[in-house]
């Protein structure tokens, strides 16, 4: 399903006031309610040797994508992680997501284990396998490598007045930080961590069909302006070594023999979508 996403960079000093204004309309997400009101999001972003994903975001290319491995909180070998491809389709977004165990993801990405041997269990069945195939094909066809781990703490909320067709979700993403050139097995590690977006948090508003008037009123009352706030770009810019290596990343090659068996999938070409 296509989804819309608005982002705002907000000074930390306004967090309390913003939450106060939103509180009559929102309730805490169930997952966050079980973990003290927030959880940690961890994503390893992949990019081409020419840093195409980064460059296309900077240039404002309307049709582009991000490829990432995502996990939550502290993790463990048995933790669930996600292969994700997030596509920008002009205005709306489309996400392909596959859930699998962290140890299975590592076997695929670092040990060349064939996709056919991975048991997805009850984590989406055939659709999960299809999306995993799409993810692996992108890594192989575009020679993508892990560039940075993007980490932040998220307070997520849903609208009290639920509209399943719209599925409004509002999050406060805080304490953005980055780890340069990670191994995929290091998704839950934080060595040599660097802060990003200092003094600010990111307000994200996601919906399927419409933005409620009360959301607009609250955002406007604080003078907030919608901005293309890419956490991936912010973290790249926060890491001096990566800024110097944007076009000549020296990252150890990942195992690719597994990817050769993956069937043809959509390929991203700068400025448009194509299919093999």
Instruction: Quote the pTM value.
Output: 0.87
CA–CA separation, 19 and 155 (whole Å): 10
Is there a contact between 151 and 40 (Cβ–Cβ < 8 Å)? yes
What's the pLDDT tens digit per position in 122-177?
Answer: 766 688 999 999 999 999 999 999 999 999 999 999 999 989 999 999 999 999 99
Specify if 263 maps to a domain: no
Percent of the residues in the chain that have a pLDDT greater than 90, as a whole number: 72
Is there a contact between 13 and 232 (Cβ–Cβ < 8 Å)? no
Please determine, for residue 194, whether its predicted confidence score (pLDDT) is greater than 80.
Answer: yes
CA–CA separation, 41 and 28 (whole Å): 16
**Domain count of the fold of the chain:** 1
CATH of residue 8 = 3.20.100.30
At residue 216, the pLDDT reads 97
Please determine, for residue 259, whether its predicted confidence score (pLDDT) is greater than 90.
Answer: no
What's the pLDDT tens digit per position in 44-69?
Answer: 999 999 999 999 999 999 999 999 99
At residue 251, the pLDDT reads 40
Specify if 269 maps to a domain: no
Specify if 217 maps to a domain: yes
Average pLDDT over residues 175-196: 94
Please determine, for residue 273, whether its predicted confidence score (pLDDT) is greater than 90.
Answer: no
Give the structural domain span for 203: 4-252
At residue 145, the pLDDT reads 95
Specify if 259 maps to a domain: no
Specify if 222 maps to a domain: yes
- pLDDT mean across residues, the chain: 87
Specify if 275 maps to a domain: no
Please determine, for residue 29, whether its predicted confidence score (pLDDT) is greater than 80.
Answer: yes
Specify if 27 maps to a domain: yes
The confidence band for 76, taking pLDDT boundaries of 50, 70 and 90, is: confident
At residue 64, the pLDDT reads 95
Specify if 53 maps to a domain: yes
Please determine, for residue 212, whether its predicted confidence score (pLDDT) is greater than 50.
Answer: yes
């Amino acid at each position: 399903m296509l989804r819309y996403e608005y982002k705002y960079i907000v000074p930390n000093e306004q967090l309390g006031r913003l939450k106060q204004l939103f509180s009559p309309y929102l309730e805490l997400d169930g997952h966050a309610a079980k973990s003290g009101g927030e959880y940690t999001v961890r994503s390893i972003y992949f990019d081409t040797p020419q840093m195409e994903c980064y460059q296309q975001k900077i240039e404002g290319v309307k049709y582009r994508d991000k490829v990432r491995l995502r996990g939550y909180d502290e993790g463990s070998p048995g933790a669930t992680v996600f292969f994700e491809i997030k596509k920008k389709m002009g205005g709306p977004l489309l996400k392909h997501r596959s859930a699998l165990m962290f140890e299975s993801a590592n076997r695929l990405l670092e040990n060349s284990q064939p996709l056919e041997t991975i048991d997805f269990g009850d984590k989406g069945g055939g659709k999960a396998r299809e999306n995993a195939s799409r993810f692996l094909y992108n890594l192989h066809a575009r020679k993508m490598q892990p560039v940075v781990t993007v980490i932040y703490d998220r307070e997520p909320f849903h609208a009290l007045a639920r509209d399943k067709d719209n599925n409004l979700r509002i999050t406060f993403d805080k304490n953005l930080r980055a780890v340069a050139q990670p191994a995929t097995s290091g998704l839950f590690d934080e060595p040599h961590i660097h802060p990003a977006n200092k003094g600010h948090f990111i307000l994200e508003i996601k919906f399927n069909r419409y933005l409620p008037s009360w959301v607009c009123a609250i955002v406007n009352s604080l003078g907030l302006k919608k901005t293309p706030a890419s956490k991936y770009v912010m973290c790249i810019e926060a890491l001096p070594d990566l800024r110097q290596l944007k076009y000549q990343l020296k990252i150890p090659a990942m195992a690719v023999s597994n990817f050769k068996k993956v069937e043809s999938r959509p390929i991203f070409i700068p400025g448009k979508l194509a299919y093999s």
